[in-house]
Structure 1
Amino acid sequence: MRREAFLSFARFVAIMLPFGLLVGALVSQYVGGLFPCEMCMWQRWPHLLAIAAAMAAIGLRRNPFGSGVFTLLAALFIATSGLIGVYHAGVEYGLWEGVTTCSTMARPTPGQSMLDSIMEARLVRCDVAPWSLFGISLAGYNALFSLGGALLIFALLRKWSRS
Structure 2
Amino acid sequence: MNVRFAGFVTALVAAAALGVAYFAQYGLHLVPCALCLWERWPYRIVVLLGVLALLFGGRAGRVFIGLAGLAMLGDVIVAGLHVGVEFGWWKSPLPECNGILTPGAALPMTPSVPCDRPVHLIAGFPMSMAQMDFCGTAMFTLLLFFMAARRPDRRF
Matches within 5 A, 1:1-163: 5-61=1-57, 64-99=58-93, 101-102=95-96, 123-131=112-120, 133=122, 134-160=125-151, 163=154
TM-score by length of 2: 0.79
Name the SS of the counterpart of 2:151 in structure 1. helix
Q: In terms of mean alpha carbon deviation, does 94-103 or 38-47 score higher? A: 94-103
Q: Select the structure that is richer in strand.
A: 1
- Equivalents in 2 of 1:11, 1:92: separation in Å? 33
Q: Give the unaligned 5+ runs of structure 2.
A: 98-110
Number of residues of Structure 1 aligned to a counterpart in Structure 2: 140
| Sequence identity percentage | 27
Question: Residues 13 and 149 of structure 1 are in contact (CA less than 8 Å); yes or no, is this contact kept in structure 2?
Answer: no
- Equivalents in 1 of 2:69, 2:94: separation in Å? 30
1:19-66 deviation line (CA, Å, top 9, x unaligned): 1110000000001111111100101111111111111111102xx111
Change (3 A) 1:8 1:160: farther
Moved over 3 A (4+): 99-103
| Two-structure CA RMSD over aligned residues (Å) | 2.2
1:118 aligned partner? none
TM-score by length of 1: 0.76
Q: Give the unaligned 5+ runs of structure 1.
A: 104-121
Larger Rg: 1
